[in-house]
Amino acid sequence: MTSTKAVLLTLGLCLGPAAAFAEQSPAREALKQHCTGDYMDYCSAYAPGGPEVEACFKANMKNLSPGCSAAITAYKQEKKATKRVSEVR
């Protein structure tokens, strides 16, 4: 496996094991695109899929690239909107 594929797989798993099998959304794709380098720089010491990675990104929010910060914000908004829709059903 190439290192790029490994990083993308790792980043995809950072969002949790269930999310790794979920359908890809534009916000998840943006996370992969914009946060891979930040993950490698700040959070690669943590196993993917665990709460430690999320906590690491949160702790390093001021250090993250603008693209990654925006992608995280968009992902959280999408996740919140999806949760509201599922609660209505």
Whether 71 shows a pLDDT value over 70: the answer reads: yes
Place of tokens 């059903």: 89
Instruction: Report yes or no: 86 and 41 within 8 Å, Cβ to Cβ.
Output: no
Instruction: Report yes or no: 71 and 34 within 8 Å, Cβ to Cβ.
Output: yes
- Tell me the C-alpha distance between 13 and 15, whole Å: 5
SS3 letters across the chain: CCHHHHHHHHHHHHCCHHHHHCCCCHHHHHHHHHHHHHHHHHHCCCCCCCHHHHHHHHHCHHHCCHHHHHHHHHHHHHHHHHHHHHHHC
For the segment 65-87, the average pLDDT, to the nearest whole number, is 87
- Condensed to tens digits (0 to 9), the pLDDT of residues 14-32 reads 555 444 445 678 888 999 8
Give residue 5's pLDDT band: very low, low, confident or very high (50, 70, 90): very low
For the segment 59-71, the average pLDDT, to the nearest whole number, is 96
pTM for this entry: 0.67
> What integer pLDDT is reported at residue 87 of this predicted model?
63
Give residue 39's pLDDT band: very low, low, confident or very high (50, 70, 90): very high
Among the ranges given (47-51, 54-58, 74-78), the one the predictor scored with the smallest mean pLDDT: 47-51
* Amino acid letter, residue 65: S
